[in-house]
Amino acid sequence: MSDGNGRWQNDLQDGIRRASDLQRLPVGEADHAAGGSFKVRVPASHLSLIDWQDPDDPIRRQALPSARELEFLDGELEDPIGDAVHSPVPRVTHRYADRVLLYPTYICAMYCRHCFRKESVSAEAAGYTLAALQPALEYFARTSSLREVILTGGDPLTMADDQLRELRQHLETIPHLRMIRIHTRVPVTLPTRVTPELVDALAGRLMTCVVTQFNHPREITLEAREACRLLRGAGFMLLNQSVLLAGVNDSVDVMKALCQELVYALGAKPYYLHHCDLARGISHFRTSIDRGLEIMRALRGDLSGLCVPTYVLDLPGGYGKIPLGPNYVQTRDGNDWVFASYDQGVRAYREILRCPPDREEVQD
C-alpha cells in the first residue's frame, strides 16, 4: 500500500499495526495473547468508532482480539469451506465452473476477528507480485468456462493503484472473462482508501463488481458513504455480504437497520448473509441456524425485497453454498400447496396448469 493521497496512509500509520500496539488500549492481558497468534491491524479512523464504555461494542468485537480466539472446539476446521481442496494452482480456488477465486495479496487493512480465513491470512505474509500470479493467469486463459475472477483476501484494495491496474489489464487480455469482482472490507475499515485514482485503476473492459462486507449499521459512516458513492459513480455494481455474528448483528432490529442503510444510504444490495463458518477460534461469533432463520423471516416480512439478502451456509469440504431459507412450504399434495405467509398465517394455494402442458406454449 504505497500510493494515494496520504490520508489513508496516515490512518493506517496512526492505528494499531501489531499486537504490541494493543498496550495503549484498554484491552486485557488475556486478549493480547490472541493478538500474538493471529494478526492484528486496525486503522485509526475505525478505532475511533469504538464505544470504549461498552465492552461488547460491535465494532470493538470485530476489530480487537479476544482470548476466546484461542479456544478451538471439536469439529472446527483450519480450512472451513475447503478452499484448498479446489486449488488447481497456487493462489486460486476454483469451485464453480464459471467463476474462480484469486488471492492477489494476503494483506488486509484490518484483520477481522471473525475472518474464516484468519489462519491463512495470519500465516501468509505475501503481498502482490505479478510473477506470483503467473500460474493463475495461465490457468484462467486455458479454462474457457470462466466468466468471473473474484479477487479476495487478504483484501485486494490494499494493493497499490498501479498493481490493481496491472492485474486488471492482464485479466482483460483473456477473451472469455466478463467480470472482475472484488471482495473487500476497505470501504468499511479504511474508506478513505477509495479514491478517484483507485476507481480509475479498476475500470476497463470487464464489468466491475465490488462486494463489501458491512456487518453493523454503525459502520456506515460519512466516509463509507463517500467511498460507495465513488464506486457507484464509476458504474460499478455494488453488493454487500454480511456475516451473521453473535453480539454484532444477531438481532432483528440491528439486521433490519443494516440492510435498509445498505440500500438507502450506500446503494449496496444486500447479497448474502453468511452463516458463520466452522473456522477455528471464532465460536464466540457463531449463532445457531435457527436464529438466522428467525431473523430472515422477520426481514422478509418487513423489508423491501431489495433489502433482503440470501442467507447461506458454506459447506465444509468445498461442497459450496446452501441457501438456508426460511422454508415457506408447509405441505404439498399434488397441485395443492400450503405455505406459511410472512404474517404468520397458513395459506393454501392451488396450482392451475394445463394438463398436459401445451408444448408450443412452453417453448415460447
* CA 5 vs CA 2, 42, 127: distances in Å: 10, 19, 21
- Given a contact cutoff of 8 angstroms between Cβ atoms, the answer to whether 89 and 139 are in contact is yes
**307 catalytically annotated:** no
* End-to-end C-alpha distance for the chain, whole angstroms: 54
CA 153/CA 189 separation, integer angstroms: 14
State the nearest-atom distance from the C-beta of 112 to ligand SF4, in Å: 3
Instruction: Report the alpha-carbon angle 338-340-341, nearest 5.
Output: 120
**96 catalytically annotated:** yes
State the nearest-atom distance from the C-beta of 120 to ligand SF4, in Å: 9
Q: Which of 39, 41, 95, 118 is catalytic?
A: 95
Question: Cβ closer to ligand SF4: 93 or 352?
Answer: 93
CA 339/CA 331 separation, integer angstroms: 7
List interacting residues with ligand SF4 (CB under 6 A). 108, 111-112, 115, 117, 121, 153-155, 185
- Given a contact cutoff of 8 angstroms between Cβ atoms, the answer to whether 211 and 245 are in contact is no
Q: Which of 277, 280, 307, 311 is catalytic?
A: 277
**209 catalytically annotated:** no
State the nearest-atom distance from the C-beta of 154 to ligand SF4, in Å: 6
Question: Cβ closer to ligand SF4: 47 or 115?
Answer: 115
- 135: preceding bond cis by omega (within 30 degrees): no
Q: Which of 3, 17, 21, 96 is catalytic?
A: 96
The residue type of 141 is A
**108 catalytically annotated:** yes
What stretch of H or E contains 104? Answer: none
Rounded to 10 degrees, what is the CA torsion of 161, 164, 170, 173? Answer: -90
Q: Which of 99, 147, 205, 269 is catalytic?
A: 99
State the nearest-atom distance from the C-beta of 108 to ligand SF4, in Å: 3
**117 catalytically annotated:** yes
Question: Cβ closer to ligand SF4: 17 or 293?
Answer: 17
**17 catalytically annotated:** no
Question: Cβ closer to ligand SF4: 17 or 147?
Answer: 17
Question: Cβ closer to ligand SF4: 171 or 190?
Answer: 190
List, by residue number, the catalytic residues.
Answer: 95-96, 99, 108, 112, 115, 117, 277, 314, 321
